[in-house]
């Protein structure tokens, strides 16, 4: 093939283009649907098929986003990020501690598991009025709500991950006479790490969800506030701009965790670890 392409420059150029298409093509395929949708919306809004007070043109939203970026956007992003970070850290941290405890000790499970099961049965948003009554409408109630939201996915996945650890690997630790602490650090934690990451990532997603809930109800800053402000002032462009920013932040924070996961879990011998070799 190389001899061919040297003899035929045009054929070679085509080969390069084909190669580029082979690597870029699959990615571009994912863009087909959203680009078509956005173009249709743009045209529909420009031609007045949909009323502008309900659905602004995508370019309109982009302009609003630009305006916000020159002004209060960063303040809102900062407020929301701080709440999510704090709430997630508290919720996920507590969840990890309890997951390790319940996962390792039958006794702890007997004491704690029924309570957690009962608490889990409560839809977490039902806590909102109580939190407002107890903690007021300031930062504390929001952070606590986010922590509650992040807690259960991390806890559940953590317990399942620890229970699912291969007993045969644990036995190797027993063979070396490892105590509880060394066993946990050297075998249990690394073996449970894949499941823990799954929990952390779904916990983070829920943290963002509960952030919006908390800020929709009572806030003077934050992306959720931007959402409700847009509704009250009948500005769908503002609402859509906030949604876009939330999506970007959610994706970005999940991407951070995913990157960390890839770095920590490169040892896994799974289908997902050899992308492109088997799945194509």
Residues that bind other proteins (CB under 8 A): 168-169, 171-172, 174-177, 186-187, 190-191, 193, 265-269
* Smallest distance from other proteins to CB 222, Å: 39
Closer residue to other proteins (CB): 19 or 164: 164
Distance from chain centroid for Cα 235: 27
Closer residue to other proteins (CB): 75 or 174: 174
Collect all residues with Cβ–Cβ distance below 8 Å to 226 and sequence separation of at least 6.
68, 76, 238, 239, 241, 242, 245
Closer residue to other proteins (CB): 161 or 242: 161
* Smallest distance from other proteins to CB 279, Å: 17
Between helix 139-163 and helix 73-104 the angle, nearest 10°, is 40
Closer residue to other proteins (CB): 15 or 191: 191
Closer residue to other proteins (CB): 14 or 182: 182
* Smallest distance from other proteins to CB 181, Å: 12
Between helix 106-121 and helix 73-104 the angle, nearest 10°, is 140
Closer residue to other proteins (CB): 90 or 170: 170
* Smallest distance from other proteins to CB 177, Å: 4
* Smallest distance from other proteins to CB 175, Å: 5
* Smallest distance from other proteins to CB 117, Å: 29
Closer residue to other proteins (CB): 15 or 265: 265
Q: How far apart are CA 134 and CA 30, in angstroms?
A: 47
Closer residue to other proteins (CB): 173 or 250: 173
* Smallest distance from other proteins to CB 183, Å: 12
Q: Over the chain, what HEC string results?
A: CHHHHHHCHHHHHHHHHHHHHHHHHHHHHHHHHHHHHHHHHHHHHHCCCCCCCCCCCHHHHHHHHHHHHHCCHHHHHHHHHHHHHHHHHHHHHHHHHHHHHHHHCHHHHHHHHHHHHHHHHCCHHHHHHHHHHHHCCCHHHHHHHHHHHHHHHHHHHHHHHHHCCCHHHHHHHHHCCCCHHHHHHHHHHHHHHHHHHHHHHHHHHHHHHHHHHHHHHCCCCCHHHHHHHHHHCCCHHHHHHHHHHHHHHHHHHHHHHHHHHHHHCCCCCCHHHHCCCCCC
* Smallest distance from other proteins to CB 158, Å: 18
């Amino acid at each position: 093939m190389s001899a061919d392409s040297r003899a035929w420059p045009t054929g070679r150029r085509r080969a390069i283009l084909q190669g580029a298409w082979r690597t870029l093509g699959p990615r571009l395929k994912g863009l087909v649907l959203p680009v078509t949708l956005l173009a249709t919306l743009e045209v529909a809004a420009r031609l007045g098929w949909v009323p502008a007070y309900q659905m602004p043109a995508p370019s309109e939203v982009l302009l609003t986003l630009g305006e916000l970026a020159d002004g209060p956007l960063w303040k809102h992003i900062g407020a929301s990020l701080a709440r999510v970070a704090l709430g997630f850290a508290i919720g996920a941290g507590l969840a990890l501690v309890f997951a390790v405890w319940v996962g390792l000790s039958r006794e702890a499970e007997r004491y704690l598991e029924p309570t957690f099961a009962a608490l889990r049965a409560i839809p977490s948003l039902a806590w909102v009025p109580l939190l407002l009554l107890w903690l007021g409408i300031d930062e504390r109630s929001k952070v606590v709500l986010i922590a509650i939201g992040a807690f259960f996915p991390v806890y559940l996945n953590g317990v399942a991950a620890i229970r699912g650890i291969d007993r045969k690997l644990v036995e190797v630790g027993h063979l070396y006479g490892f105590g509880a602490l060394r066993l946990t650090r050297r075998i249990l934690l690394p073996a449970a790490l894949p499941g823990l990451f799954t929990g952390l990532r779904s916990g983070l997603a829920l943290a963002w969800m509960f952030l919006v809930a908390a800020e929709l109800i009572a806030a003077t800053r934050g992306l959720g506030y931007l959402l409700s402000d847009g509704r009250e002032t009948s500005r769908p462009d503002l609402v859509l701009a906030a949604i876009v920013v939330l999506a970007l932040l959610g994706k970005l924070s999940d991407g951070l965790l995913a990157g960390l996961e890839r770095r920590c879990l490169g040892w896994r011998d799974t289908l997902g670890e050899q992308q492109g070799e088997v799945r194509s």
